[in-house]
Amino acid sequence: MEETKVPQIFDEKAQSLARKRAQSRMAKTGPSFLLIRAAEDAASRIADINRQFERGVVLSSVDMRDTIISELPAGRQPKNLDWYDSLEAMNGEYDLIISLLELQTENDLPGALVRLRHNLKADGLFTAALFGGDSLSDLRQTLYTVDSAVFGGATARVYPMIDHHQAAALLGRAGLNLPVVDKDRVKVSYGKLETVVSDLRDLGLTNTLTARHKAPLPKGYLQAIKAAYPKTDDGKFPAQFEILWLTGWSPHESQQKPLKPGSAKMRLADALGTQEKKV
């Protein structure tokens, strides 16, 4: 049987350089505010689980373990917590895997989730933060408008991003039980468009698409983006980041299972204390 070839959406060499630059930037200035928010949110989710994990791992571009641990009470802190800056570097078997905005540039996201699932012990928890499809909608629409005017059509500048329904399907496809997908919306007002770009560079999210336009941008392109961008009444550049949280458990016999169709022992009408009407 012929092996299915994974589409190369991202230029792996360009993405590796972008990642190294991002790590260098955050080594000087500290983690991105979005990465900090994701780490704190991950800690909040773990704190709500009545369990102390034995061995966990954090996947993130820079080490966010201290942020997570500092947000957890002693009884919820994993006894051991590793850190890797990429999925390829990860090695081991864990009962907790946390991915913080780290799967955004995977050419094979379904395959990446399957690999992570294989690193989970039975009844182990997987939780990951990814940017969802509603992220940076103003910027994306502005880029489309300006590119259409300058180049005669849209160019490859926007990363593909999954939505809520796609995320749930990916968890099931990876073989994770009790899947849950929810979202966190972060709204920011920027004084300068350059700051938006800087925040994306901090996360290694500059344009590394294989099909990207590689020629230098024409003179006046950035000014055209600034002029077309929808601004607030006080002249700021609004931006919204949608962070999707994907959560699932490695299968185990102790986990709840859905009832089989027809196995209910009481009619819904009886449970509600109402009379069933025939039509």
Which tens digit of pLDDT belongs to each residue from 16-45? 999 999 999 999 999 999 999 999 999 999
- Residues in a beta bridge with 99: 59, 128
Query: 12-253 adopts what CATH topology?
Result: Rossmann fold (3.40.50)
Of 208, 155, 237, 189, the closest CA to residue 22 belongs to 208
What are the residue boundaries of the structural domains of the chain, listed by start? 12-253
pLDDT in the model for residue 125? 97
Any idea which residue has 């102390």 for tokens? 52
β-pairing, 120-131 vs 237-249, is antiparallel
Structure confidence at residue 256 (pLDDT): 64
**Mean pLDDT score, 61-81:** 96
The length of the chain in residues reads 279
Positive or negative, the Cα torsion across 195, 197, 199, 201? negative
Predicted TM-score (pTM) of this structure: 0.86
Averaged pLDDT of the chain: 89
Mean of pLDDT values over 255-266:
56
pLDDT at 276 over 80: no
Residue pLDDT, tens place only, 123-174: 999 999 999 999 999 999 999 999 999 888 888 888 889 998 999 999 999 9
**Which pLDDT band holds residue 58 (cuts at 50, 70, 90)?**
very high
Mean pLDDT of 83-110: 92
Structure tokens at 252: 């185990």
Q: Binning pLDDT at 50, 70 and 90, where does residue 1 land? A: very low
What span, in angstroms and rounded, lies between the C-alpha atoms of 257 and 123? 13
Enter the tokens of residue 60. Answer: 């993130």
User: Is pLDDT larger for residue 4 or for residue 126?
Assistant: 126
Helix (H) or strand (E) holding 22: helix 12-29
Residue type, 83: W
3-7, 15-19, 62-66, 89-93, range with the lowest pLDDT: 3-7
The answer to whether residue 221 scores a pLDDT higher than 70 is yes
pLDDT band at 52 (very low <50, low <70, confident <90, very high): very high
pLDDT of residue 151: 87
Residue in 32, 83, 89, 77 with CA at minimum distance from that of residue 60: 83
**pLDDT computed for residue 270 by the predictor:** 61
